[in-house]
Amino acid sequence: MDMTPNNLVNMAKLLGLDVIALTDHNTSRNCAAAMTVGREIGLTVIPGMELTTAEDIHAVCLFPTLEKAMAWDAYVDAHRIKIRNRPDIYGRQVLMNENDEEVGELEHLLLPATEIPITSAYQTVKSFGGICFPAHIDRDSLSILSVLGEIDAACGFKTAELADKSKLEALRRLHPILDTLHLVTDSDAHYLENMRDAENVLEAEDNSPEAVLRALD
């Protein structure tokens, strides 16, 4: 298992990154360890989650504090389908501490959709003190455009994430709402080798989670 808290945070530091967000699927329970490592080496780790909505759409959820992220984690846990994980098929769902030691394992599979609809995701996350935006909107599956065909302004999103910046102009022609949103690109890394160099810049007051969330929302 390569994506341990120390490997993840130290790789980000080696790549020249100042800020990363940890957004595991439908859980925030490994954020505490990564944030501890980040504080030790001087890299900001924003606690978050990649939510799977009721429509099977991925949405990035980010929080200014671990406490707010864990309150959201508890809410999501109470609103997701509980299917026992099959580690032989889907892999283990391990919880680790800041020393990369295993301290637990999540019993229920994290991949299935929750009961939280995309139409209320922004406001619901906002009520927990965080921000939310649709993930990898340019992908052919698990994205708001692939599932719904459009980003409805009534959803309230202020930001959207692109996996491939080269697709932006074509998407803008098809979806004028993108001209009204902040657009961000990140590595969305599931493996260490997918992490990118510091090629993207976000203008914020400083590197704190609070400042980054204000810049995105």
What is the model's pLDDT at position 215?
Answer: 96
Compute CA distances 1 → 36, 50, 144, 158, whole Å. 19, 20, 31, 35
What is the model's pLDDT at position 79?
Answer: 98
pLDDT in tens, 147-205: 999 999 999 999 999 999 999 999 999 999 999 999 999 988 998 999 888 888 899 99
Residues 141, 2: Cα–Cα separation, whole Å: 26
Q: Is the pLDDT of residue 32 over 90?
A: yes
What is the model's pLDDT at position 31?
Answer: 98
Structure tokens at 114: 């929750």
Compute CA distances 127 → 61, 72, 149, whole Å. 12, 9, 27
Q: What is the CATH number of domain 5-216?
A: 3.20.20
Domain ranges of the chain: 5-216
Residues 106, 120: Cα–Cα separation, whole Å: 27
Query: What is the pLDDT confidence band of residue 74, given thresholds at 50, 70 and 90?
Result: very high
Residues 168, 21: Cα–Cα separation, whole Å: 23
Residues 3, 22: Cα–Cα separation, whole Å: 11
Q: What does the buried/exposed string (b/e) look like for 95-107 if buried means 16 or more CB atoms within 10 Å of the residue's CB?
A: ebbbeeeeeeebe
pTM of the model: 0.96
Query: What is the pLDDT confidence band of residue 217, given thresholds at 50, 70 and 90?
Result: very high
Q: Is the pLDDT of residue 38 over 80?
A: yes
Residues 66, 36: Cα–Cα separation, whole Å: 11
pLDDT in tens, 113-129: 999 999 999 999 999 99
Compute CA distances 119 → 28, 59, 152, 208, whole Å. 22, 11, 8, 29
